Amino acid sequence: MGEPYRVTFVCTGNICRSPMAEWILRRYVEDAGLTGSVEVDSSGTEGWHRGRPADARTDATLRRAGYDTGHSARRFEARWFATYDLIVALDAGHLRELRRLAPDDGARAKVRLLREFDPAAGDELDVPDPYYGEAEGFEQVRELIEAAASGMVAEIRRGLAGR
């Protein structure tokens, strides 16, 4: 087996949306039988929460839905572009920041919005930040991520097939 297909999710502080997406995609990858071929992690555009666990509401939302949890926040670094196959931004602001950091067109092409993988998303491609809201916002984020997860698995399969 060759190198794993590497996916990272990026939000602002890496304590709400991106760790939730990380654990959800891990489950979908496992269910698709791709565990040994794919690595999934997450980071943030800012380093405010570096080393901290995910927001307690993120963990509670994941556990209620039957997902695993566990996390240590980190900041995305431009040098990581070379190590990832797919870099998934949670909203347009993250997309712009990641593309700004990208060293070249090839790196920029790896950056996609999560909701691009949800055929029902239409023009609403941002996953809203639930941090300042109530638990319902975290449930909404989970639902949006789950709606895109199958499309991400299909993209991963295409990437693996193209190697």
Name the DSSP letter for residue 83: G
Neighbours of 79 (CB within 10 A): 9
Query: What are the backbone angles phi and psi of residue 157, rounded to the nearest 5°?
Result: -60, -40
Show the tokens assigned to 70.
């566990």
Helix extents (H) in 45-134: 56-64, 92-101, 105-109
**11 carries an active-site annotation:** yes
Among residues 17, 26, 57, 74, which one is catalytic?
A: 17
**17 carries an active-site annotation:** yes
Sequence-distant (6+) residues with CB within 8 A of 17 are 9, 11, 90, 127, 129, 130, 141, 145
**26 carries an active-site annotation:** no
Among residues 108, 126, 129, 157, which one is catalytic?
A: 129
Among residues 6, 11, 26, 57, which one is catalytic?
A: 11
- List residues with catalytic annotation: 11, 17, 129
